[in-house]
A and B are shown apart, each in its own frame.
Chain A
Amino acid sequence: MTKIHQEPAISVRNLTKTYTEGAAGVPALRGVDLDVCAGELMLLMGPSGSGKTTLLSIMGCILTATSGSVRIGGREVTTLNEKELPAVRLAQIGFVFQGFNLFPTLTAGENVELMLDLKGIRPNDAKIRSQALLDQVGLGDKYRSFPSNLSGGQKQRVAIARALAGDPQIILADEPTAALDSHTGRNVMELMRKLAHERGRAVVIVTHDPRMVEFADRITHIADGLIGQAADSPTSPAMFVQEGQQGSAVNLA
C-alpha cells in the first residue's frame, strides 16, 4: 500500500457559532479547529448539547458560522451566500441522516435517481447509475421497492447509495446507526469505513454509540463547544488513502 498525504477535505479554523435566544447569545461552538482528510473516517462524539450537530451542520454548509473559517476542498465557504451554498453541498457533500430521510413516495431506485437528477444526469443514464449504486450497497434487487417495504438497515443503505450518487468527496452522517439494531448498525459502519478507505472519501460521523469506536480512524470529542481530545484509532490507517483507488467503482456490499 502506497500512502499519500492529502490536503484536508475539510479544514475548520477558530470556528464559533452563537445562537441568539431573546436578547442573550448562547454559544454553541467556541473556537473549533479541525481537519478531516480524504480516506479518513472520523467519529465526532460528545454529550447532547455539546455542539457536534452544529459543527456537522456548518461543515455541511447548511448552517452559517458566527465567525471563523471553513474550507471545503480548499475553498473558503463561510463567505458564500445562501444561493451559492447549495451548489457546494451538491458538488462536495453527501449526507446520511439518523432517520434515513428517504422520500417515501419514491422507490429505492428513484430515491437515488433524485440525487442524480439534481446533478443534471439524464434520466436514462440516471437509471443505470442508480441501479449500479444500489448494487454496490447490496440492494440491487430492491430498485423498485418503496422505503416502507425496506428494513432499517436497507433504508440506511439506500440513503448511503443516494449520498454517493452525487460523487461527493465528503460524507457527513448524523447518528446513522441510532435507529438500527446492533448487527445492522455494524454493517452500516463497515460500509462507511469502506467508503473512506477504499473510495477515499472523508467521512465524518456524529454518534453517541461507543460500539462504533472500533470503525473510526480518529475520534474527536467535543464538549461545551470546544474540541477536547483527538486520538487516532489504533486499528486504522487514518489520513491516508490507497493510491489509484480514489473514485474507483468498488463493491461496497
Chain B
Amino acid sequence: MPPLARRNLFHDKIRLTVTLTGIVFAVVLIVVELGLFVGFTSTTSGLIDHSNVDLWVTSKHVPYIELGAPFSERKLYQVKSVPGVQEAQKFITHWTQWQRPDGRQESVQIVGINPDSTLGRPWNLVQGRVEDLKTPNAIVVDELYKEKLGVTRIGEVFEVNHRRARVVGFTNGIRAFTTSPYIFTSFKNAQDYAAMPADQTVYVQVKVAPGADVQQVQRQILERVKDVDVVTNHQFSRMTQVYWMFTTGAGVAVLLAAALGMVVGFVVVAQTIYATTMDHLKEFGTLKAMGAPNRYIYKVILTQAALSAVMGYVLGMFVSAFVVRASQSGGAAILMPWQMAIGMFFITLLMCMGAAIVSINKVTRLDPAMVFKG
C-alpha cells in the first residue's frame, strides 16, 4: 500500500503535534491515576505484604489492619499450641500522638513488633538495625516523614503519647496510606505508647511450619481459640486494600480520574483524526470513485490512528516514567508495574482506534459522486 496514511498524518505537522499532545496527555493522565491507584493500594497493605506472616489472628470483625481491637495475650499461647504453628508473635498497630520539637502535634501509627522475630519487621532499613529496637524507648521512622515529624538524625528524642521515644534507625519508602506515618518500635514500647494493659495484644501473627497446610492450621486455630477471626495474609491484605480503596471511595475517585483521562484523550484524538479526515475528504471520495472498497479506506484511517497511538504511547511513557521516578521521593507513590506499561499500550491503541470510528462513520456515508462537484 502506498504510504497514504503515513503521509497524510505527517503532512500537517501542527495537527500531528496537537494529536500527539492529546494522546500524550491522556497516556500520562491515565498512567498517573492508575499508578496512584496501584501505589495507594500497595501502600494500604504494605505492613501486611511485608510481614512474612501466614495467618493473622484478630479480634472479631476487624475490617482492616489499622482497626484492630485488643484481646487477651492468653490467646497467643492457645495459638502456639495448635499443631502446624511454627511461630506466633504479638503485634500492635495503634494511632497516637507525636510531639515535634516545636511543640506541634502529629498523628502517627505505632507498630509494635518483636525485634527478635522475622515477623512484621520494618523493611528497607537505611540506617540502624531492627535489633536496636530492643533498647528502651527505641523507635524507627521513615525518611519520607523526617520533615513532617521534625526528625533530622539518629539519637534524637521525641515524645510519643507523652512518653519518651528515641530514634535508632530510618527506613526508606515505607509509606502510610493515611497522613499518620508508621513508627516501628518493640511490642513492649508499643503497649506503653498505646497505653494498653500489659496482658493484651491487638494481633497474633502466625508462621506456619514448613509442609503444614495453611488453611488447615487456620481452621484449627478457629476451633481452639474463641472469639477471634483468623485470616490468611492474602485475605487480610485484600480486606485492607478493599476497605481503603473502595469503602472509603478513595480508589473510586482515582479510577474515575483515570477514566476521565481516557475520555479526554479519546475526545482530543477523535477530534484531530476527524479534522484530518475532513481535510482529506475529497481524496477519500476520489478513492471511492476509483473503486476502493470501504475497508481500504478504513485501513488508511485506522493506520493513521495506530501510528498516532504508537507515537503517542512512546512519548507518553517517556513522560510518565519521569513522573513516576519523581514521585518516589514524594508522599504519594505512583507505581507503574510492567503489566501496566504493556496494558497502557493496548489502552492507547484502543483509544485511538475507537476515536477513528467517528471518521470511519463519516467516510462510510461519503458519496463518491462528490468528485464531480468541483
Contact = CB atoms under 8 A, between A and B. Distances in A.
Interface of A: 53, 56-57, 60, 62-63, 83, 86-91, 93, 95, 97-99, 101, 103-106, 110-111, 113-115, 117-118, 123, 162, 166, 174
B14 to A, nearest CB: 15
Contacts, number: 78
Contacts of A166: 290-291
Interface of B: 1-4, 7-8, 11, 282-283, 286-293, 296, 367-369, 371-372, 374
A166 B3 CA distance: 19
A57 B369 CA distance: 7
29 contacts: A62-B368, A86-B288, A86-B291, A87-B293, A89-B290, A90-B292, A95-B289, A95-B371, A97-B371, A97-B372, A99-B374, A101-B286, A101-B371, A103-B7, A103-B283, A103-B286, A105-B4, A105-B7, A106-B2, A106-B4, A106-B7, A111-B2, A113-B2, A114-B287, A117-B1, A117-B2, A123-B1, A166-B290, A174-B371
A62 B369 contact: yes
A113 B2 CA distance: 7
Given A110-B3, A113-B2, A117-B1, A86 B293 contact: yes
B277 to A, nearest CB: 14
A57 B4 contact: no
Contacts of B287: 114, 118
B19 to A, nearest CB: 16
Contacts of B288: 62, 86
B343 to A, nearest CB: 34
Contacts of B367: 62
Given A101-B282, A101-B286, A117-B2, A86 B371 contact: no
Contact of B2 (A63, A89, A90, A114): A114
A91 B291 contact: yes
A163 to B, nearest CB: 8
A12 B3 CA distance: 38
Contacts of A99: 374
Contacts of A91: 291
B4 to A, nearest CB: 6
A104 B291 CA distance: 19
B292 to A, nearest CB: 5
B208 to A, nearest CB: 65
A57 B373 CA distance: 11
A88 B368 CA distance: 14
A210 B195 CA distance: 108
A37 to B, nearest CB: 22
A105 B280 CA distance: 10
Q: Which of A60, A89, A103 has the most CB of B within 10 A?
A: A103
Given A90-B291, A105-B7, 11 more contacts: A56-B372, A62-B367, A63-B369, A87-B293, A97-B371, A103-B283, A106-B3, A106-B4, A111-B2, A115-B290, A166-B290
A106 B293 CA distance: 20
A83 B364 CA distance: 11
